Amino acid sequence: MRVISLSSLKGGVGKTTVSLGLASAAFASGLRTLVVDMDPQSDASTGLDVTVGRHLNISHVLANPRSSNVRNAIVSSGWTRARNGKVDVLLGSPAAMAFDTPTLTKREIWRMEEILAAVEGDYDLVLIDCPPSLNGLTRMAWTASDRVAVVTEPGLFSVAATQRAFRAVDELRRGVSPRLQPLGVIVNRVRPQSVEHQYRIDELKQMFGALVLQPELPERVALQQAQGAASPVHVWPGESAEEMAINFNLLLERVIRSVAIAG
């Protein structure tokens, strides 16, 4: 089982949309996939077509990570009702905010690792949708992860925010979790005709080189439509959705190469 965190340092860059796009690609490719919804907004749970509130959730297992709680907080995505495959979600909750503190004890920072150990043999890939911050929830997610992907937009603050994220990954790797490495930067919501966007992408490439992952993800209405309908983008109709499905397949291939997933 390989664990990837999807992070950003500000809201509104489409981090959850990217998480769901990668989950859709993994589902389409036959990987047994778990999405961990650690963002208190819980949008990933909604996008995976599950009803939040009728099960245990991330806040319960962070408080008490025994195996029975973990399994009771994981439900099958509604995506699987009409299609074969395995994509589950560890449900999010606004109550997870109680754990998003700036400082963690040594035991607390390993809490997500302890939670995922309960399902070690059940999945090929775990995608953790982190909150848009560097507080406790994100650090717990990173400590349990093999790689961190930073999602950003090609805007004025993207370079500085990405630098802060990579600096924090390096600090956590050196101080807590030696296996943790940056996967790279996923540039989202790109408008190819925008001179400003191209300037900012070039700036990112100058700073981070090969860590700027390809392909960059263009801004497409179809992606928001699929997410709004709680549908995997790989089955959403239209050429635009097909283009985005191909893009997410390519990003997933990069993930697989990075952590050597055997599907």
CATH for 163: 3.40.50.300
Tell me how far apart the alpha carbons of residues 58 and 251 are, in angstroms, rounded to a whole number: 27
Residues 6+ apart with CB under 8 A from 74: 34, 88, 89, 90, 91, 119
For residue range 67-112, what is the model confidence (pLDDT) as tens digits? 999 999 999 999 999 889 999 999 999 999 999 998 898 889 999 9
Tell me how far apart the alpha carbons of residues 159 and 109 are, in angstroms, rounded to a whole number: 27
pLDDT at 47 over 50: yes
End-to-end Cα distance, the chain: 10
Residue 53's pLDDT is 66
Residue 260's pLDDT is 81
pLDDT at 51 over 80: no
Domain that holds residue 110: 2-259
Residues in the chain: 263
Is the model more confident about 263 or about 17?
A: 17
Residue 158's pLDDT is 81
**pLDDT, mean of residues 175-198:** 94
Residue type at 205? K
* Total domains, the chain: 1
Four-point Cα dihedral 60, 23, 82, 76, nearest 10: -20
Please give the model's pTM, rounded to 2 decimal places. 0.96
Going by pLDDT thresholds of 50, 70 and 90, the confidence category of residue 263 is: very low
Tell me how far apart the alpha carbons of residues 172 and 93 are, in angstroms, rounded to a whole number: 25
Residue 102's pLDDT is 87
